[in-house]
Structure 1
């Protein structure tokens, strides 16, 4: 589709009732290393509209769509092995990851995408580099992009191993509040009737978003994490019983991006609390209350209990085995022995 025939995007500043989604997308735009945003919700909740709107705020303004039927070569690119063997030079044919550099890579119905492609997407989104290897020949290129994956949970879920690798997740719901619903419909009708005029009315707000993203990216490296922030992140992740440490790392980076977006002088525990739900909603597990009690009890013990713990560990070296118990016996009748021929 050419620029002349491409339909104008709905302005990001004109989205209504999507504050959590807008925050998550802005954080991913400021720090693409967060690993992308997974947007889950029913049909008609502006998932694709928000993705297209974000692309306009980025320096390149590039939105690349990954179709469900795409091959791995089309996604990551290909190497011409014949050229390597003949001339000794690597000829690389770029894929969609190269095209999405500094823009947005949008995957609709990501839950229906083959696992191998999702793995490649998430690897590149987290590292900012795409590496193509074929027959012992390797080629790498920058691939820093904002990954936005959308899905309708009614059509199937992502495997837990894959959903955990998305940095942030936002769950959208149908809007049943009359006033908000009416505002959304009025805005959409106004945009459809006069896209140019509608966009012009939101141009100043759009430019403010562009400036905020640019300033936040510049401020990002200057913000450091103090012990208070680390403690808050650890407490939230332990309370959610997450697997591994990915949630801790993503939460810290998301809190830093939010602080940068607001031009704060430092990262605070409040920033952590405001990004926690998007980090934990797809990683949270039910926790055994007994485990929490045991952890608190063990943490409250001082060094004076070391000898007692060592003795208890020594006495429980056969953990897992039940102690022997006496069992009742019953007298039985005599058994007639078999003859030698029948033995």
Structure 2
């Protein structure tokens, strides 16, 4: 089992303002808005307060102008506790090279790098042209809205930030993640589903619509020695954890030929498929009730694509709960070190772009064991 339950939270100081406070030990009252991110227990999905002028299941609870969602849970006391997971000091980059994949899917432009000469033989600049969705990325809260209401996280609409004379560059922008939280730093927890599947002799193509159910993640956790249930239910997933799920997409990418990868990337939108977590009620409940600060996977979509439901997990994670989604994260070395060390938790740090008006960002992330 994880050793997380031995971490003392209650005697640590916490505040985004820098003021010294004691972390409350009580359960967050669903009706008491704004919520206090320092609390140790939070309402389950079924106990969420139905908010006026918000879709069902919306947890817009951190303040009317909040742009950070569950990143608010990355309080200094949780970050300090997460730092105790640094044992060997081994650093592992978690971003793919900016030029990988060479041909991005969905018609997105590939990364371009130009070297500009300032003084021949003496000084040079470089110029990047990139789509933030073309390689390892965080999906920000402007990326996907709740389809039924057409509202983004915390009630933001497209008219608030795009295509309008009154557009506000700041509403829902990723720069708030740096300005208000400082970045994405905390305890990472890896579910190595691909290695678990290999242990069972289960072979699948990560470029197919192979779905990973909650039951399979639960079994994967047990195989690793982890109870994936939230701590509030006696499990090992702690409030503010950053979840990573390895489906094997990066491994498969590197083991295909350039032509094979290009052909897959050039599939039409209707033909495009990726492995990922299954759209099901058990998955929705689990992702909500664990109170992850962020979730990520090594596949291009995190969730199975396309969805077989009328909804996507992106709607819940981004629009309803304010949980960033990491995609195409390089988890290959992380999984190797986790197996070698016999533990699946680590210190994680990421510096998203400080782009005012930004919709997404490269991760710029490191796992520290």
Report the TM range for the smaller structure's normalisation: under 0.3
* TM-score with structure 1 setting the length: 0.22
| Higher helix content, 1 or 2 | 1
Larger radius of gyration between Structure 1 and Structure 2: 1
